[in-house]
Amino acid sequence: MAQVDRRVFKSYDIRGTYPDQLDERFAYLLGRALASVLGARRVAVGHDSRLSSPSLYAALAAGLRDAKADVGGMGLCATELVYYVMGSAAERHPGGPKAASGAFDLGVMITASHNPPEYNGFKVVRAGGEPVSGAGGLDEVRRAMEAMDVGAMAGAAPPKTVAAEEEYLDFALRLVGTPQAQRLRIAVDAGNGVGGLLWEGLSCRLGVEPVRLNCEPDGRFPAHHPDPSHRQNLEQLIGAVRARRLDLGFCYDGDADRVVVALPDGHVVDGSEMIACIAERLLSRRPSPAFGVGQTTSRRALDHFRRRGVEPRIVPVGHAKIKRVMRADPEMAFAGEDAGHYYYRDFFCCDSSLITTLHVLHLAAEGRLEALVRSLPGPWVRPADEPAFAFANQAHALQVCRAVSLRMLERCGAPLEITCEREGRVVRHCTPADVEACDGVRADYADWWFCVRPSGTEPIARLALEARSAGLLEERQRELSALFGELGAP
């Protein structure tokens, strides 16, 4: 019987530290279990730039082969390239790419996304780009791994047999259109992840040679932490944009499924601002497309659309939940969340930093990007970093989130609106009684709002809040933090 660390199995993927929580033995067992439990016969596999990724890649492939599955090697690549191959395998767009002609029934990306260098993990998707969640198969995969004997793990890394990079670029340019970006002066910071690979072909197609920062894949991430959601990891990009008087800069996370943009004056376009910009471009191209915004989206974006008579659909936070909601709502053309993930129906309801980059380049080339960002209503002030509170387990974190929400609602009176996440969806116009059965809650007042929710991957509670002034923000954050300390005490 194999010993498997259950803590690495999250709601949406597998993730932990290497080699103490997951290693080559784990990857080998995972390969065997994916093939046997999920019935995968042809599996496309890619990996990011982390130092442990090549050996995990070889071990996973060995396990798949020993379970009689064929392996399509994608090598070093961005996560969204795996999404593209798997979406194309289900023939979700006319023609389908040659690279996916073998109709893979499962895809695996070896990555820990934006986590520190000592982490690694596995994102598993079915044909069509649908993520495999815990309840959707990973829990059963874990049980199968625990029942296995390790056996032999010999095997070299699979050769690269799935080369879909150019086809994916063709697809994205057809979908978004080719921006006239030749006059734009651009910086690209790949953070030593795989984001630079996206620009290898894009630069040639657009006739743009960006200032390249940290575009050499290096799993030590020597330049900075591979998480662009934190300001300190953007300082090099911001400095280059300012010093060279560039028009904009792009920064990507470790596996390049998130992108953040910096403007000439150093302003970082946050997730809510990016959602507003992309949705505006989609609205200008197609009348009244439905689109979704994450439950923690800023009032700057929400008020902007409501003032012009457009009501976004509120979706839960988390890529698997958003993809599930989009697939159930055929009218939803786009969705975005503050973390920097942007999802497109025409990209199999998956997130794509390449498609987002192209939309931003269009807006910048047309002179609309900065104007759109500056036009969003305000002021609305948010903390520099999202507060989080640790607990013994996720159940306790959820219990405290509900208790904190109810206490704040008692103190502050009736809000403009309460939204609750329940069973993977966000329900609007709720009452305090609904909070007792929800997984996350947001309450909007005239001059501030808060949202509390348990993490889907860790035993922590997250607090998002925003206010009309820095003073009010500090007051409310202090009050909510005190409640988490009081109500979360053992």
Active site residues: 113
Q: Residue 480 and residue 258: Cα distance in Å, rounded?
A: 29
Q: Residue 355 and residue 83: Cα distance in Å, rounded?
A: 13
Tell me if the bond preceding 379 is cis, omega within 30° of 0: yes
User: CA-based angle 195:199:204, to the nearest 5?
Assistant: 170
User: CA-based angle 138:141:144, to the nearest 5?
Assistant: 155
Q: Residue 155 and residue 240: Cα distance in Å, rounded?
A: 44
Q: And the tokens for 110?
A: 């070896």
Residues forming beta bridges with residue 43, ordered by sequence position: 71, 106
Residues forming beta bridges with residue 350, ordered by sequence position: 344
Q: And the tokens for 45?
A: 């596999």
Q: Residue 200 and residue 204: Cα distance in Å, rounded?
A: 7
Closest CA to 141 of 32, 260, 12: 32
Q: Which residues contact 402 (CB under 8 A, 6 or more apart)?
A: 435, 436, 438, 441
- Given strand 106-110, what is the order of strands in its sheet? 14-17, 119-126, 106-110, 42-47, 70-76
Answer for the pair 198, 357: CB distance below 8 angstroms, yes or no.
yes
> Number of H helices and number of E strands within the chain?
15, 21
Cα-only R_g, the chain: 22
Are β-strands 106-110 and 42-47 bridged in parallel, bridged antiparallel, or unpaired?
A: parallel
Place of tokens 């059963």: 140
Q: And the tokens for 99?
A: 């690279």
Q: Which residues contact 404 (CB under 8 A, 6 or more apart)?
A: 452, 461, 480, 483, 484, 487
Kind and range of the H or E run holding 208: none
Q: Count Cβ atoms below 10 Å from residue 102 Cβ, excluding itself.
A: 15
User: CA-based angle 349:463:329, to the nearest 5?
Assistant: 20
